[in-house]
Amino acid sequence: MDFSTLIQILDSTMRLATPLLLACLAGLFSERSGIFDIGLEAKMLISAFFSAAVAYDTGSVWLGLLAGIAASMVFAAIHGVASITFRGNQLISGVALNFLASGMTVLIAQNWFQQGGRTPSLLGKARFEPLTLPFADALSDVPVLGPIYSELLSGHSILVYVALLAVPATYWVLYRTRFGLRLRAVGENPAAVDTAGVSVIGLRYAAVAIAGLLCGIAGAYLATGLQAGFVKDMTAGRGYIALAALIFAKWRPWYALSACLLFGLLQALALRTDVVEAIFPFRMPVQLLDSLPYILTVVILAGFVGKAIPPRAGGQPYVKER
Amino acid sequence: MKDLAENSGQPPGAAPNAPPAIELRGISKAFGPVQANKDISLKVAKGAIHGIIGENGAGKSTLMSILYGFYKADRGEILINGKPTEIPDSQAAIAAGIGMVFQHFKLVENFTVLENVVLGAEEGALLRPTLAKARKHLTEIAEEYEMNVDPDALIEEIGVGQQQRVEILKSLYRHADILILDEPTGVLTPAEADHLFRILRGLRDEGKTIILITHKLREIMEVTDTVSVMRRGEMTATVKTAETSPEQLAELMVGRKVLLRVDKKPAQPGKTILKVEDLRVVDDDKVERLKGVSFEVRAGEILGIAGVSGNGQSELLEVLGGMMPATGRVEINGEAIDLTGKHSDGRSRRKRGIAHVPEDRQAEGLIMDFAAWENVAFGYQWDPAYNKGWLMDNAGIREDTAGKMERFDVRPPHAHLAAKSFSGGNQQKIVLAREIERNPDLLLVGQPTRGVDIGAIEFIHQRIIELRDAGKAILLVSVELDEIMGMSDRIAVMFDGRIMGERLPGETNEGELGLLMAGVTSGEGKA
C-alpha cells in the first residue's frame, strides 16, 4: 500500500467517522443525563430524509439542514415525553422510534417524490460542498505534510469540521460548566440533583434536545454531504455503531473521538477490498470488518480492556422518594 | 431570609422572645385512603434540638418531606420564624433556610466532596471560579464546626460517617438555619454517632435549629432539648426531654406499655450444636475477611456477635448460611459440613437444620416484588408439603402462609400482598416465621431488628428467646449493642476478622465491649 492510498483511506475514514461521531456525542449527552437513547438511528434517518427533501425542494442545503435538525428534535421530544414525563421504558421508546423512522421516511418519500422511496439526487447548492482550507493548494507539494494537509484535512464539507469541533466543545460543557456538572450528576444520582433544588426533568429534556440537535446534523450530513440524496434505511446501523462507540469510549468525549475514528477506519477499509486483500495474507471477509465494532464493544463490555461503567441512573425514570 | 438574618444575631441557645423557628399549624396529608398526617401542629424554638420520635409509618418522614417541599400538604400552614411560608419544592425550602439530611444520602458517588457541596448552588455558569470560591467557604465552615473532610476526596472512597458530614456541610453551605436529620445514626458506629451529636450540639450553640427524626429512644434522651411523639399520623405529645423518660416515650409511641428490657430466664445450655474452628475467608478482592475464627454455640443458648459493621460478621453469617466458600472446619451436631461451596448451598444447610435470617432482608431474605406466600416458600420449595406431584401446591402454601402470618402477628395478614408493601418490621416477621417455624437446630440471625419498630422489636426478641428456650442454638449478629447485651447468653466481639474476646453479659458493660469493638483488648484499655 503506497502513501497516497493511505491518505485516501484516512480521508474516507474522516468522512465516515463524522456521522458516527455526531451521533456518539448525541448519545453521550443523553446517556450522561440518565436517558438511554437507542433511537439515535431514528433521529439520523428522519433528519436525513427531511434535510434531503427540503434541500431538493428549496435548492438550499442550509434550509435542508435546518429541516433535518427540526425533524430530529421532534423525535427527541417524543422520546423525552415518553421516557421523562411519562417515565416509560427508554429502550422500548427508542426501538419504537427506530421502526417509525424506517417506515415513515420511505412512505413520505414515495408520496412526495414518486421515486421508489428515495429523494431525487441533490445537485449544486442543495449539497454541502467540500471546503478548501487556506493554503491547501499552495502546500500540496510539500512532501508528506503537504498531502496530509491538503488532501486529508482539507476538502471536507463544513459538517465534518463541526463534528470535530463538537468534541472539545462537549468536553468543555461537560467538565467546565455548571450545566455539565448538573448533567453528569443527574445521570448518576437524580435524587441528589432534585434535593439540591435543581429540576431533574429540565436537565434531562435539555440533554435529550442536545442529542436531537447533534443527530439532526449527523443525518443531514449523511444525505447532503456524504451522499447526494436520501435512500431507504441509509443510516445502515450507524446509530447502533455510535452506541457501541459510546460504550467503547466509556462515555467520555475524547475517547469518543478515537472510538469513532477507529470504527470509521473499519468502515473505510470495508469499502476498499483491494487494500484489505493487500494488507492481510488471507482472504478477509468484508462482513468481518463490518462487525468488528460490535465485537470490540463486546470485548470492552466483558472487561478485557478496563471497565466500562455506565452512568449509574441510566435507563431509570426518576421518581421522587424520601 | 430577611428574618433569619435578623435573628441570627441573637445569642446561642433558645431565645425566649423570638418567634419559633418552625411552626406548623394543622398540617394534614393523605395518600389515597391513608391519612399520613392528621392535623399536626408543632412549634420548635430557635436554637433548640427537637426530636421527633415515632414508629415506622407514624408519619414522621412525611411531615418532614412536607417541610422540605417534597410533598404538598392537603391543609395547614407552615411558618418559618413567624412568617407564613409556602414550600412547594426543595428550592423554596433551601431559600427559607431549611436543610435536610436524608436517611439515604443524596450524594453523587463519583463526584468529589467539593462538587457535591456545590451542586445546585453554583455561583456562576463556569465551574472553575465557583469551585475555587466554594473551596474557601467550605474550609471555613468545616473548621468552624470541626467537620474535617477532604474536599477533593471522592464520595465513594470515604466512610458513611464522613458522607453524612458532607450532607450537613451541603446544608450549611446553603446557609441553612434549620437542619432536619432523618434517622441519622442508622448507619453509624457508636463512636461516629457520638461525634455527630457533638457536631449537632455545636450547631445548636451557634443558634441553628435542629430537628432529629429517630426511633431510637436513647438518642432522643441523649441529645434533644424537646421531643414530640408521633403515632398513626398524629402528634400525640410534645414534652421537654428532661421531664420525660424512655418508658413514657415508648408508651406514647406504641400506645401501650412496652418492655424495653428483654425478659428472659437464665439459659440452660445443652450439647454443642455448632462448632467453628479456624474459619478463614478471602473475598473477591483478595482481602482476608475472616482471619481464623473459632467458637461454639450450644443448644439452648444465644451467642451474640457484637462489632462495628464490616468487621467480618456478615461474612461469618454468609459462610455458615452456605452463601460463601471458606476454609477451616465447621461442625453441626458433630458432623462437619462442606465449606468449599462445591457441594453446599443454602438448601443443603437448611436440610442439616440450619435456618438463616440474613442481615439484609430486602436483598437476601425476601424478593420484594413477590407475594408473601411465595416468599414463605423460598428456600423450602422442595418440601413435599409444598408440592403436589410435579406442581407446586400454591393453595397449600397460601394456607400455610396465612397461619404463619397469624402466629407471627404480621400486619396486614394478607398472604397475597407483595413483600414490599409490608413495613420493615412486618417483612422481618415474615422471614422469621419462615425460618423459625422450620424448627431448626441452629438459627443464624443477622440484624433482626434493623429498621424495625419498637413494638415489633419486642415481639421478635420474644420469638427468638422462645426458640432458645425450646433448646435450639442461636447465633445472633447485631451492631446494636443494646440488643446484644439484652439478648445474648454469651457475647463474642469481632474486630478485623477476628474474635477479640468473649464476655458474659452480666460481667461486662458497654464501655468494655466498645473498646473490644475498636480492637483494644482489655489489658491495653486499662493501661
- CA A110/CA A132 separation, integer angstroms: 36
Say how far apart CA B4 and CA B173 lie, in whole Å.
Answer: 15
Across the interface, of B61, B116, B128, the residue whose CB is closest to A176 is B128
Closest partner residue to B108 among A185, A197, A322, by Cβ?
A185
Does A198 sit within 8 Å of B127, measured CB to CB?
A: no
Please tell me the distance from the alpha carbon of residue B101 to that of residue B71, in angstroms, as a whole number.
16
Assess whether B481 and B410 both reside in one domain. Answer: yes
CATH code of the domain in which B320 resides = 3.40.50.300
What is the pTM (predicted TM-score) of this model?
Answer: 0.80
Question: Is the same domain home to B7 and B49?
Answer: yes
Identify which of B322, B331, B320, B268 has the alpha carbon closest to the alpha carbon of residue B296.
B331
C-beta atoms of A192 and B107 within 8 A = yes
Looking at the partner chain, which of B103, B120, B125 has a beta carbon nearest the beta carbon of A197?
B120
Domain membership flag for residue B157: no
- Partners of residue B124 in chain A, C-beta under 8 Å: 178
On whether both B487 and B413 belong to a single domain, the answer is yes
What's residue B292's pLDDT? 93
One-letter amino acid of B214: T
- pLDDT for B516 equals 86
In a domain, B228, yes or no: yes
Check residue A105 and give its pLDDT.
96
- Using alpha carbons only, give the angle B117, B24, A319 rounded to the nearest 5 degrees: 50
Residues in chain A, how many? Answer: 322
Taking the CA of residue A272 and the nearest CA in chain B, the distance in Å comes to: 44
Residue A172's closest chain B neighbor by CA?
B126
Q: Give a yes or no: residue B290 inside a domain.
A: yes
**Residue A144 exposed, middle or buried by CB count within 10 Å (0-12, 13-18, 19+):** exposed
Cell of A306: 478496563
> Which pLDDT belongs to residue A188?
95
Say if residue B236 is in the same domain as residue B354.
no
User: Domain A3-129+136-303, what fold?
Assistant: ABC transporter involved in vitamin B12 uptake, BtuC (1.10.3470)
Question: What percent of chain A has pLDDT above 90?
Answer: 70
The rounded distance, in Å, linking the Cα atoms of B315 and B313 is 5
Q: What are phi and psi of B423, to 5 degrees?
A: -70, 165
B86 vs A: CB within 8 A? no
| B118 contacts chain A (CB < 8 A) | yes
Q: pLDDT by residue for chain B (527 residues), tens digit each?
A: 333 333 333 334 445 567 999 999 999 998 877 788 999 999 999 999 999 998 777 888 889 989 998 888 999 999 999 999 999 989 999 999 999 998 889 999 999 999 999 999 998 899 999 999 999 999 999 888 888 889 999 998 888 888 999 999 999 999 999 999 998 887 777 778 888 999 999 999 999 999 999 878 888 999 999 999 998 889 989 999 999 998 888 888 877 777 677 778 888 899 999 999 999 998 877 888 999 999 999 999 999 999 877 789 989 999 998 888 899 999 999 999 888 877 667 788 888 899 999 988 888 899 999 999 999 998 888 888 899 988 999 999 999 999 999 999 998 888 999 998 887 888 999 999 999 998 999 999 999 988 787 778 889 999 999 999 999 999 999 988 888 989 999 999 998 899 999 999 989 888 888 888 878 775 544 43
- Quick check: is B345 in a domain? yes
B144 assigned to some structural domain? no
- B511 exposure class (CB count in 10 Å sphere: 0-12, 13-18, 19+): exposed
Of A189, A193, A197, which is closest to B94 when you measure between CB atoms? A197
Pick the residue from chain B with its C-alpha nearest to A188: B108
- Kindly state whether residues B330 and B411 are assigned to the same domain: yes
User: Across the strands, what pairs with B53?
Assistant: B214, B229
Cα nearest neighbour of A174 on chain B: B127
In this structure, the answer to whether residues B246 and B372 fall within a common structural domain is: no
B411 and B458, same domain (yes or no): yes
Same domain membership, residue B296 and residue B245: no
Q: Are residues B353 and B398 in the same domain?
A: yes
Q: Which residue has the cell 408440592?
A: B387
B215 and B350 both lie in a single domain: no
Positive or negative, the CA dihedral A78, A80, A86, A88 is positive
Closest partner CB to A195 (pick from B102, B111, B122) = B102
Q: Which residues of A touch B61 (CB under 8 A)?
A: 322
**Of residues A176, A196, A312, nearest to B121 (C-beta):** A196
Pair (B484, B415) in one structural domain:
yes
Nearest CA in chain B to A185: B108
**In Å, how far is B58's CA from the nearest CA of chain A?**
15
A-B CB pairs within 8 A amount to 78
Q: Which residues of A touch B126 (CB under 8 A)?
A: 176-178
Residues B399 and B430 sit within 8 Å (Cβ to Cβ): no
From start to end of B450-515, where are the E strands? 473-477, 490-495, 498-503
Is B156 part of the contact surface with chain A (CB cutoff 8 Å)?
Answer: no
Residue B112 lies in a domain: no
Other C-beta atoms lying within 10 Å of the C-beta of residue A138: 11
Q: Cα distance from A187 to chain B (closest Cα, Å)?
A: 9
Q: Answer whether B204 touches A (CB < 8 Å).
A: no
Nearest to B106 among A175, A181, A195 (CB): A195
B363 touches chain A (CB under 8 A): no
Q: Domain of B355? A: 272-526
- Tell me the nearest-neighbour CA distance from B389 into chain A, angstroms: 40
Q: How near does any CA of chain A get to the CA of B300, in Å?
A: 42
Looking at CA atoms only, how far is residue B201 from chain A in angstroms? Answer: 25
Q: Kindly report, residue by residue over A171-205, the tens digit of the pLDDT.
A: 999 999 999 999 999 999 999 999 999 999 999 99
- All residue ranges of chain A with pLDDT < 50 are none
Q: Is B205 on the interface with A (CB under 8 A)?
A: no
Cα(B322)–Cα(B359) distance, integer angstroms: 14
Does B70 touch chain A if contact means CB atoms closer than 8 Å?
Answer: yes
Q: Are residues B244 and B295 in the same domain?
A: no
Q: What is the ipTM of this complex?
A: 0.89
CA distance B137 to A203: 27
Domain count, chain B: 2
Which residues does residue B279 pair with via DSSP β-bridges, in sequence order? Answer: B293
Taking the C-alpha atoms of residue B79 and residue B93, their distance in angstroms, rounded to an integer, is 12
- B102 interaction partners in chain A (CB closer than 8 Å): 195, 322
